Amino acid sequence: MTETARLRRLIVSTFSLNGLTIQEKSCAHLAQQLGPLETTEERDQWLEKIVDYVRSSNTNEGNIVTYELLVKALKFCCDLQVLNDEDILRVIPAYKLPRYRYCALTKKFLRISSETSMFGNAQSKISQYVDRYTVIRQRMSRIKTVTDGTLNQPLTIGDKIRDVDYLLSSGAGLKFNGSSKKNPILLLGILVQLKEGGRHYLEDPTGAIPLDLSKTDFKKGFFSENCCVLAEGYFCHDREVFSVTDMALPPSERTEISKIYFGESNIYSDDNDHNLHSCNPKLLEYEQHKQRMIVFVCDVFLDDPKVVKKFHTLLNAYNEVGPVAIVMMGDYLSCRVPSHRYAQELKAHLNELGHYIHDMTPVLCKQTTFVLLSGPGDRYCGAAGASILPRPTIPACLTEEFHRLVPRSVFTTNPCRLQYCTQQIHIIRADGLMNKTANYDVRLKSMDRKKYSSVAETDDNTVNNYIKTLESQSHLITVPLDICPTYWPLASHSLSLYPMPDLVCIADANAPEYSTRNSNDPNSSNTKISSSGCVFFNPVSFI
């Protein structure tokens, strides 16, 4: 048997063992490409890469490896040997993020292929809460409890959760009526106010039940309206009220566990090639050896000479280092600028900044990517749109000159996502998120303010409770829509924190500066702890 025949036999058997059938033309072309390789190990490595690409590609050919697919796989595997700028740093705006919805029947996250509009119907408002509930509910099915079940198998929290409609049914209502603390009922739902009068309800996709919070022991975290909580207590059948004895936020889950069930390849992009590029071992090697930095700056008032001078000093300091990116977050102009002149002033000051970066910091201009997000006070899209998340990008008519002077600049939405090598980063610029979450806690209405003041009496305690709330909800916004409005069709995926990223930047000028540490890092002296393995930080205002 000739060497070419043995190679073709190896190719056919390799694809067959992976459930694939390669066409004759494809097999001949692949044998021709792999023939110059000297060792068997090199051929096996290339075959493994090509098979991995074919298996992960979404084609309509089933398990048939066509000539066109093979050529695409070979080109992709060759491109893996060289890293380009798009592989190292990628900026994804909110409207380009793929959308997924959890299916309880298949227990998988299914892609939503329909087009997304900023302005949705009433169903899109409901869907954002249903999606958030189902994500948390499936997470509870994996978190073990102390109580043992049958055959010494530990129960999960999901095994103990009851639906609201089951509790309200006649037979179940009599069964659980007056149940003791030794056998409490556990519900998972969203805190809402369905009627005027201050009474809160717990709502899940099956129904809603009124709550009695007068004797409730609240655990750590903030319990605002529209927040998904675990409520434990007993059902009063006569009053049809659920008397809550204990209320807690759903436990968070570490990133590596969530990605196993979610599927790591399609979190950030619809581009299959980019998803495979993010798994390239060369990216991890680059990340570990280069150790480049990303600089986050908030509230860069370009019309304030003092702020501009300090920002020029910062740019000059980093000109020799050349960080991988400088993330600039608004507001870009102070409130002194009238609304009718705002767009013209913003364009003029961006052009001045572009000229300075191009002329005075050539290293940054060539090696660093400038990522620009709008702030809550930027009024280029009108005062009404300034408070709704996600905020659109700054119009191209205002940024074309800056982009010409600084080609490595990206204007994106607020919030947005970054992928640096293998690290995933979420960025949001909004003022007062922490204060709103704390101020709209239901305990402010259900108990005395003096008793509640002990919950958030220090900044460290407030930050820890706020981070715990975000981790439990897997979402950046945990307050009602009238407090922090969002575009309904975009809210569930653009503001989602599931699976938990590696880094979350919450630029809040009204909150204290903070950064969290991993709960598994006992050597750190930082008192702000993240139990999910994600790092949260606030860069505060640059001014």
- What confidence tens digit (pLDDT) does each residue in 399-420 have? 999 999 999 999 999 999 999 9
| Exposed/middle/buried for residue 436 (C-beta within 10 Å: 0-12, 13-18, 19+) | buried
- Mean pLDDT, the chain, rounded, equals 84
Q: What is the mean pLDDT of residues 426-442?
A: 93
Task: Name the 3-class secondary structure at 323.
Answer: coil
* More confident call, 266 vs 391: 391
- Nearest C-alpha neighbor of 202 from the set 180, 182, 181, 228: 228
pLDDT band at 121 (very low <50, low <70, confident <90, very high): confident
Say yes or no to pLDDT of 204 above 70: yes
Q: Which ranges constitute the DSSP H helices of 430-542?
A: 433-439, 443-446, 449-452, 459-473, 488-494
- Nearest C-alpha neighbor of 319 from the set 356, 272, 269, 289: 356
Q: What is the mean pLDDT of residues 431-460?
A: 71
* More confident call, 166 vs 129: 129
Model pLDDT, residue 454: 45
* More confident call, 496 vs 256: 496
pLDDT band at 79 (very low <50, low <70, confident <90, very high): low
Triad 356, 358, 359: Cα angle to 5° = 65
- Token readout for 121 is 């119907």
**Phi and psi of 233, rounded to 5°?**
175, -150
What are 10-30's pLDDT values in tens digits? 888 888 888 888 888 888 888
* CA–CA dist 460, 134 (Å, integer): 31
Say yes or no to pLDDT of 503 above 90: yes
- Nearest C-alpha neighbor of 301 from the set 362, 355, 377, 361: 377
Instruction: Report residue 300 CA to chain centroid gap.
Output: 25
Q: What is the mean pLDDT of residues 459-481?
A: 92
Helix (H) or strand (E) holding 46: helix 40-56
- Nearest C-alpha neighbor of 205 from the set 221, 220, 181, 187: 187
Write down all domains in the chain, each with its CATH number in brackets.
3-79 (1.10.8.60), 293-414 (3.60.21.60)
* CA–CA dist 49, 33 (Å, integer): 14
Q: What is the mean pLDDT of residues 244-269?
A: 80
Asked whether 26 and 65 are in contact (CB, 8 A), the reply is: yes
pLDDT band at 453 (very low <50, low <70, confident <90, very high): very low
| Exposed/middle/buried for residue 428 (C-beta within 10 Å: 0-12, 13-18, 19+) | buried
Q: What is the mean pLDDT of residues 287-316?
A: 91
* CA–CA dist 40, 335 (Å, integer): 68
